[in-house]
Structure 1
Amino acid sequence: MPNDTTITRRALLSCAAWSGVAAISPAFGAADAPYPTKPVTWVIPFAPGGATGRLSLLVCEQLSLRLGQPFVLDHRPGGGGNLATRSVANAAPDGYTLLATSTANIINAARAVPPGPDGTGDIIPVAGMARMPLLLLVNKELQVKTLADFLAHARANPGKLSVGSAGPGTVQFASAELFRTLGGITWSIVDYRGSGPALTDLASGHIHAMFDNTASALELLRSGKVRALAVSTRERSQAFPELPAVAEVLPAFETSGFYGVAAPRGTPKPIVDLLNREINAALTDPAIIRQFAEIGATPISGDPGIYAATYRAEIMHWRKVVQASAKN
């Protein structure tokens, strides 16, 4: 299984600088050691270069500073996020293995037959990170300038366009399927082990288009290697006000990326509560607020119960999307 473990220099320095930070990590009882007392593995279900990794890096740097231990990014791509999710579900429920969740977890739960009561299975929601729009991207050689041009081109060339995705069950895949369904078009979807490799092929002209998160696509957009035609959210994005919403042409279209953190079921509540508080606090850091705004991401905060309820609501939304796509 591919594995790319990343820890930032700032995270390492923060660990050294905060070696005496035990007061920040409350003891859970006279017989219990404070948490965390060693590095925490933060599993990312996709290859480096995607939005999940970028958001995780920002949050983990803050957590390393606040809690005095490194939060180590561990990329485990494959299976549309399922491989990493299963590995975390099977890990010891002690707070030292966490999962960066994305819309892929939500969609996989929405596709489950029969559906579970909350779609989380053997992981439990801990805290939110962000919600962000996707962009409809095309390679610079494709002779379309607007969303309407692209839709007309796709309809006039059935089966000839190739569209990238981060893997089956991901928000990129589901957005492409919903666009296909509502637009009455046909195209081929090419699955990758994350959005990073898909974007590379889009920029090099190996595929024609893809939906991807604003965080992942920003550098390629700035360099002019790809073009953005629209945003996936119901309304236009403040980060990209010049781009129309897909819903302006296909009124029923609406998708967005939804990112958070989960832990193995059975993780002690005091640890879950501590992580939730610290992640919520990290999201108020001015640097994170600024960097989230640059990519159109909106922080998600709230206690574990509120976040779990939002998680379940997302599953119900995506279940309708999955059912609509399955009919066509």
Structure 2
Amino acid sequence: MRTTTLARRVLLAAALATALPGIALAQAFPAKPIRVIVSFAPGGAADQIARAVSEPLAQALGQPVVVENRAGANGNIAGDFVSKQPADGYTLLMSSGGTVSINPHLYAKMSFDPAKDLVPVASAARVLVYLQVNPAKVPVNNAKEFLAYMKANPGKLSFGSPGNGSSPHLAGEMMKSMGNVYATHIPYRGAAPAIQDLLAGQVDFMFDPGVGLQHTKAGKLKLLAIGSPKRSPLYPDVPTMEEAGLKGFDADTWFGFYAPAGTPQPVVARLNTEINKVLRSPAFVERMNAIGAIPAPFSPQEFGARAQEDSKRFGALIRERRIVGD
């Protein structure tokens, strides 16, 4: 009996000795400011999410959280930069899921491997895309009319997106494929400048990741449908693209935070815990409501699984449409 008790004590002591360094690391982190590198231009969904998280996260961690924008190559510029930073939790990537799930299908060569060089930290929001048109240029009232109008005017319409291979671009390609219609894609360096050209009539429509919804409320743009499998709880009266006749249409993506591979698990866990607290706050929910996004507090493992699902879904579309990166 004494031998058994002694053995248990030895095992318990060994387990505590193994756990203590990780616990101490999590408690000591952070000891300096944290940088959040956003993969798209200011004003877009990724930028707005990063800034909505940064201030309350800084308060929770007791250190400044500084947001920087490094747009380009559908997130590859920011992703490459973060992947080469020290794996200590002080540099994070905020991006759409495209950097991890889509870019490996778009680019024959990349300067980093998202699956190996980055690790998921925390999801932030499910970002929906909203089919919006400039009503002065496209005389339709609903998505069914819009699809019919496109068929009657092949190649005459153009649509903007935050960049080649972005989720709004892929939503447009999904519509072209499933609806047997054609329109010219015009890529921009972010959603905000694409929306500005939609307002100006330089492009005719866009699958907006939410940043242009304010203009819909002002009557400057017309919202026809959403690209989700189900209607949005934020816009319950707006039909889905499936209801317009495109069965199985799903262009949702998950935006979130990543860190360089090798970042200690206790640091990832601490960041995940604190970010998830922010996502559940009324202030963050309100900010997301403004852009039509839905907060999505996941564990790192759940977030990674979502990225893998998106990779399969969008990878098939990219191969079918023969889309390549810039």
The answer to whether TM tops 0.5 is yes
| Mapped pair 1:236 → 2:212 | no
**Aligned counterparts of 2:124 and 2:21: Cα–Cα separation in 1:** 26
| Mapped pair 1:75 → 2:69 | yes
| Mapped pair 1:219 → 2:211 | no
| Mapped pair 1:129 → 2:124 | yes
In the TM superposition, what whole-angstrom CA distance separates every residue of 1:125-154 from its partner, at most 9, and x where no partner exists?
111101032101111212122111211111
**Is the deviation greater in 249-258 or in 71-80?**
249-258
Q: CA deviation at 1:114?
A: 10
**Is the deviation greater in 279-288 or in 258-267?**
279-288
**Structure 2 unaligned spans of 5+:** 1-19
1:205 to 187, 196, 201: 201
Q: CA deviation at 1:277?
A: 1.0
| CA distance 1:34–1:212, change in 2 (3 Å) | same
- Contact 2:213/2:290, CA 8 A, preserved across alignment: no
**Counterpart amino acid of residue 122 in structure 1:** D
| Mapped pair 1:56 → 2:53 | no
Aligned to 1:4: none
Aligned to 2:146: 150
| CA distance 1:177–1:32, change in 2 (3 Å) | closer
In the TM superposition, what whole-angstrom CA distance separates every residue of 1:40-92 from its partner, at most 9, and x where no partner exists?
11011111111111111111121011001111111111111111111111112
- Contact 1:27/1:33, CA 8 A, preserved across alignment: no
**Structure 1 unaligned spans of 5+:** 1-25
What SS does structure 2 have at the residue aligned with 1:121? helix
**Aligned counterparts of 2:21 and 2:232: Cα–Cα separation in 1:** 43
What SS does structure 2 have at the residue aligned with 1:63? helix
Aligned residues: CA RMSD: 2.4
With normalisation by structure 2, the TM-score equals 0.85
Larger-gyration structure (1/2): 2
**Aligned counterparts of 1:184 and 1:31: Cα–Cα separation in 2:** 55
Aligned to 1:312: 308
Q: Output aligned runs, 1:230-269, within 5 Å.
A: 230-248=225-243, 249-269=245-265
Identity across matched positions, percent: 35
- Contact 1:213/1:257, CA 8 A, preserved across alignment: no
In the TM superposition, what whole-angstrom CA distance separates every residue of 1:282-319 from its partner, at most 9, and x where no partner exists?
11212223333454422222322222222222212222
**Counterpart amino acid of residue 39 in structure 1:** P
Q: CA deviation at 1:158?
A: 1.2
With normalisation by structure 1, the TM-score equals 0.84
**Aligned counterparts of 1:306 and 1:257: Cα–Cα separation in 2:** 14
